Copies of this chain bind each other. A is one copy, B any other.
Amino acid sequence: MGEKLNGDFEIEPKIFTKILVAVDEDDSQSSINAFNYAVTTAKRLNVPLGIVSILEVGDFNIFDTLSPEVLDERRAQVADDLAGYVNKARSFGVKDVTAYSGEGKPGVVIINDILPDVNADLLVCGSKTKPLTGRKRVFLGSQASYMSQNAPCSVIVVR
């Protein structure tokens, strides 16, 4: 509930000091909207930008079901995509750009492993949607939803 302040407060300017954007390995338009917002904002505020991509492990165990060769290929693809994003951000004019990667459930890995390391105060993600049986669509992917609910920092879902 919090304390009721009855208007008795001064505005404190709130400016983010480090931004982390999650780019998705298999949903490019959603990633690109989030990425465009993140680079535009990092450049304007002149703050460091982290870019994270997680090799997604869903309900099946990717490490068991994929051959080592295919797994290596997918890891290389994530690294390659990430390098592309980093180059684009630098070309756009963001000075301080760092890439992060991981493997697992994106929301969980980003909240538990990446964010504490990066220490960002704004997490940027796309609004990946998936068609679901029996519903027209969900408006927010489960990973973005998980991050909005569990991040210790502010989270923006970009549409």
Q: Is A5's CB under 8 angstroms from B33's CB?
A: no
Residues B155 and A157 in contact, CB atoms below 8 Å apart:
yes
Identical copies in the complex: 2
CB neighbours of A2 from chain B (8 A) = 27-30, 128
The reply to whether B130 and A140 form a contact with Cβ atoms under 8 Å apart is no
Residues A156 and B156 in contact, CB atoms below 8 Å apart: yes
**Given A1-B27, A26-B1: A159 in contact with B154 (beta carbons within 8 A):** yes
The reply to whether A4 and B26 form a contact with Cβ atoms under 8 Å apart is yes
Binding site for B on A (CB under 8 A): 1-7, 9, 11-15, 26-30, 32-33, 35-37, 39-40, 44, 81, 84-85, 88-89, 92, 128, 130-131, 138-140, 144-145, 148-159
